[in-house]
Amino acid sequence: MLDIKFVRANPEAVKENLRRKFQAEKLPLVEEVIALDAEYRAALGRAEELRAGRNRGSKEIGALMAQKKFEEANAKKAEILAIGTALEQLAEQEKLLAAGVRERMLALPNIIDESVPLGRDDSENVEVQRYGEPVVPDFEVPYHTEIMERFAGLDLDAARKTSGNGFYYLVGDIARLHAGILSYARDFMIDKGFTYCVPPFMIRGNVVTGVMSFAEMENMMYKIEGEDLYLIGTSEHSMIGKFIDTINPKESLPQTLTSYSPCFRKEVGAHGIEERGVYRIHQFEKQEMVVVCEPEQSMDWFHKLYAYTVELFRSLEIPVRTLECCSGDLADLKVKSIDVEAWSPRQQKYFEVGSCSNLGDAQARRLGIRVKGAQGNYFAHTLNNTVVAPPRMLIAFLENNLQADGSVRIPQALRMYVGNKSALQCG
């Protein structure tokens, strides 16, 4: 959410940001916010005047009573009573006006960084850099489910019976590989100085609206029936929520956290849930990075975070590239975002395995995450980034480490997490 003072002072900048994000339909919101905010402040000023008048009148009543001017005192009491009624009406008006301002402010996107490329959607995202040489082997790489099934490691049919499409059972060596990748990612980030966390897997509605836009919420979140609780779509949600309504000493920042969680997503608006795959699914597990920092540090942290993901994938000998999200592909709270994509030998193209985002002070402003500075309190900046998110990451791992004989090579860095095996053997 933007600072209302910024919107008042810079309406044209807010409108230009909407144009850059191809959200021209929201342009009227800017003038609506400014008009409602002016009404709200006028109501506050009128209420302050009435309270001052009531205070003066109360003192006058005391003086009149002392002088035994009872008729005048009673008239003054009637005035005070009328002021009280007017204040009640103004309080209701203030609530409605404040709600109207907030509703529209929540719909206005964050101001994107000047470096973000212009584009309408993800087809116009821009490649930044490639890491590692993408290889196409001289043998056929099967679809990822076939590779897993060769190891008796995947059961989609049973999951469909218990839960429906978009769910899966991982079994045996594939399940162990899945867990090993998460454990390796956890230790990788701990070695980078991050604090390991396991957060709540359900959060309240005010946290949900604090960490994402309404559109994202509708497309992603599962609500617990009859309760103000939602299943998290990523541990970032509860990790940022951990700091709600806090004032953090300047010296305590940055907070650098790496968190594990299962993730649950409705995937509304997706191109369908694959019946025979684990790329787009309703449930998966993830190791995440979250940073809460000083505003001037956030862009440095942004570049560090996605570099860590690149480093981790390269330590497992998986070629990757970074792709900058264009203006139209950025979620409303984001200032800047870079996706990390892994090479798929089967498809002979890259596919997304993680996303790094700088949200500026948008989440902090919604959730009340402040920094205690020498000159007063101000909002922190928040960032998040995927370390790994299997089973999607398993697709990249299996395809890039598949051998001609059907075995899957285990890179040295991962072996201690899978029983010191150098390869998985099928059959």
**Domains of the chain, first to last:** 4-107 (1.10.287.40), 122-424 (3.30.930.10)
The proportion of the chain whose per-residue pLDDT surpasses 90, expressed as a percent, equals: 82
The confidence score (pLDDT) of residue 289 equals: 97
Pairing of strands 320-324, 283-293: unpaired
The confidence score (pLDDT) of residue 33 equals: 97
Helix (H, G, I), strand (E, B) or coil at 412: helix
Structure confidence by residue, pLDDT tens digits, 85-140: 999 999 999 999 999 999 999 999 999 999 999 999 999 999 999 999 999 999 99
More confident residue, 166 or 306: 306
**The pLDDT of residue 65 is above 90:** no
The confidence score (pLDDT) of residue 191 equals: 98
Q: Could you tell me which residues come within 8 angstroms of residue 204 by beta carbon, excluding any fewer than 6 positions away?
A: 228, 229, 230
Considering Cα of 225, then 367, then 325, then 386, what sign does the dihedral take?
Answer: negative
> Helices (H) and strands (E) in the chain — how many of each?
13, 18
The confidence score (pLDDT) of residue 268 equals: 55
Helix (H) / strand (E) containing 247 = strand 246-249
Report in angstroms the alpha-carbon separations of 82 from 44, 50, 53, 65, 85: 18, 10, 11, 20, 5
| Residues 73/64, Cβ–Cβ less than 8 Å | yes
Structure confidence by residue, pLDDT tens digits, 8-33: 999 999 999 999 999 999 999 999 99
End-to-end alpha carbon distance in the chain: 55
**The pLDDT of residue 331 is above 70:** yes
- Write out the two tokens for 205: 């509605």
Q: Which residue has the tokens 């790994």?
A: 388
- Write out the two tokens for 145: 């489910």
The confidence score (pLDDT) of residue 427 equals: 67
Could you give the residue ranges of the DSSP H alpha helices within 140-229?
A: 144-150, 156-162, 172-191, 205-211, 214-220
Q: Which one-letter DSSP state was computed for residue 123?
A: G
- Return the beta strands (E) in 277-417 as ranges: 283-293, 320-324, 336-344, 349-358, 369-373, 376-379, 381-388, 408-409
Confidence of residue 288 (pLDDT cuts 50, 70, 90): very high
Measured N-to-C along each axis, helices 172-191 and 298-315 cross at an angle, to the nearest 10 degrees, of 140
d(CA 371, CA 79): 45
Considering Cα of 68, then 71, then 73, then 74, what sign does the dihedral take?
Answer: positive
What's the mean pLDDT when you consider all of the chain? 93
Structure confidence by residue, pLDDT tens digits, 142-162: 999 999 999 999 999 999 999
The confidence score (pLDDT) of residue 359 equals: 97
d(CA 186, CA 182): 6
Instruction: Using alpha carbons only, give the angle 261, 267, 271 rounded to the nearest 5 degrees.
Output: 140
More confident residue, 73 or 179: 179
Structure confidence by residue, pLDDT tens digits, 350-372: 999 999 999 999 999 999 999 99
Longest dimension (CA), the chain: 107
Phi, psi of 72 (to 5 degrees): -65, -35
Compute the average pLDDT of residues 248-252: 95
